[in-house]
A and B are shown apart, each in its own frame.
Chain A
Amino acid sequence: MSKKKWKTESKKDWLIAFVFVALIVYGISMYFTGRLNALLMGITNPRLTELNQPSGYGNAAVTFLIMGIITGAALAVKKQPCKKILPVVIAGAAACGVCIGAYFIHCELIVSVSESMNPGSVWISGSNLKNNGFSGNFSEEDENMAKLAELCASLKELPKGEQKKLREGFTYNYDDEITVWISYPEKYFHSYSLMLRIQDDKIFMLRDNGREIIFFEDNGLIKAVMSFI
């Protein structure tokens, strides 16, 4: 068959080609899910780790962006005017932006669960703790638990300058840490678990497979945790 016979002619052909290319781009983006999620960590609330990171937004954003560029390129090859090409590319970029914005909002909503709801369970563990630490379902009647939940919800990140200072002088040691894992009921189509670590009287969270440390101000949380163990 000649090359001419393989050209897309009708609008139906173009639509089928568009759908197929979008599926392939989306499928390829699945291979890069980990990297996309790591990139999005940069705009993620500091109290959210990979454990609870909502996924899919990165893939959708990249797919919209690439499809906008590919569609614009196809129109340019067909010698369409700029006023047809630009809106398509802009629409792709805008859809990408919407996905990233939606991701940001979803993360904020997930973290807000700690302020609006009581946890479902509390688990405190550490290599050096007697009786293997503490584990139990949350009970409002238990004053210690209620206090712990309140303190976790009001944790504040330390300022950037102090973060940097602390990171330089800090060596993470798994054997010396105490882990505080507070799980909340599912809301906003996602579960949320706050996973804090305490070592050398510092409260911090690990992200990006341990490569990023975020320190928090001690608002009495360490004392509250010690009351359980």
Chain B
Amino acid sequence: MNCDMKEAVLAYLKGEQDIDAERIEKHIEECPICGAMVEGYMEKEQELSLELEGYGGDDDKLKERVVHYHRGFRRIVIFTLVGLIMGWLSIYYYTDNFLPTKIILAVPYKMGEMLHNILHQPDYRVYTCLDLQQRFNEFFPGDFLCTFLAERIVPVLFGGAIYGSIAYFTGDKRVFTLRRYMKFAGIWAAVILAFTGIIFGMNSHHIKKADKLQNVDYFFLYSELGMGSGFGEELGNAVRTSLYEKLHEAFYENGMPVKDEGIERNMENEVAVNVGMGFYLTEVYVNYEEKYLVTASSTGYRISDSFAGYVKEFWESGKIDGESNVEVLNE
């Protein structure tokens, strides 16, 4: 059974102002349903208003453990937060000449590096620079986003794990048992491995996407005269921008580049060209005589005559379209 005045009675009990208190009080006296509801409400209120009492028992050890648990938990949170910050700053260890602080700073970064090297075999040319270009990062060559995540964020996670672990080891052993620590370490390990897995997945996706050579927005050409130059939309130089537009137009002229699986490579006549697609930079090998290029994943494409011509011209003379030269480009 229900009463129409139930809502009004509840508002009265909550002490709301804009109600007809007199009418409601009269109704409570007359209505058995609302009367029972008010009685039950008053009983509950009394129970809730009981004062908290502290533990009055004799188990001092239990009291100590509760206090230590709270303090230790606090310590773990603070240490972990500090570890996250130190992980972010870890990369700057290389500028530190003072050995003790260098080691403290370096640990999260080096742990991240070690994990990466276990899972990933980078191109040996990264270390020997035998190829025509120097790769400026070791984690995921050409993939700026994945390199940033591997080089900056993974050390953050390691920092949190390491410093949080230190907090465990310096806490009360009766409270922070090995079992609890293994759970803590297991969660961090899972997070770090999962995150690293995501980065590898992203890189794999970027490589496949870059292999399609779509949306190229940057070219870096090399010359046998020992120089090289980059051409992109936003390099702040009107000459480079106009030359970039020519290269871009030539690159995509007449539906090129077109995939061709039947290309027979003549590596002696190939020159390296870097192409950028957003945050990804990759190397392709252009044979301007036979009018093809091959990507880093060995996918062959036919290229337009004009693009091949530009690559050849720059390789031989350091110029493009005969309109400008390297001195102008380097202003």
**Measuring CB to CB, which residues of chain A are less than 8 angstroms from any residue of chain B?**
1, 5-6, 16, 20, 23-24, 26-28, 30-31, 33, 54-56, 59-60
Contact = CB atoms under 8 A, between A and B. Distances in A.
Contacts, number: 43
B70 interface: yes
Contact of A31 (B70, B78, B89, B98): B89
A30 B74 contact: no
Given A30-B95, A55-B97, A56-B97, A6 B89 contact: no
A24 B98 CA distance: 15
A6 B71 CA distance: 9
B96 interface: yes
Contacts of A56: 96-98
A56 B95 CA distance: 8
B330 to A, nearest CB: 12
30 contacts: A1-B74, A5-B70, A5-B74, A6-B74, A16-B75, A20-B78, A20-B82, A23-B82, A23-B86, A23-B101, A26-B105, A27-B86, A27-B89, A27-B90, A27-B92, A28-B89, A30-B89, A30-B92, A30-B93, A30-B96, A30-B105, A31-B89, A31-B92, A33-B92, A55-B95, A55-B97, A56-B96, A56-B97, A56-B98, A60-B98
B216 interface: no
A5 to B, nearest CB: 6
Given A1-B74, A5-B70, A56-B96, A26 B101 contact: yes
A24 B89 contact: yes
Nearest to B94: A30
Contacts of B93: 30
Given A5-B74, A20-B82, A30-B105, 10 more contacts: A1-B74, A20-B78, A23-B82, A24-B89, A27-B85, A27-B92, A30-B93, A31-B89, A56-B97, A59-B96
B104 interface: yes
Contact of B95 (A23, A24, A28, A33): A33
A16 B74 CA distance: 13
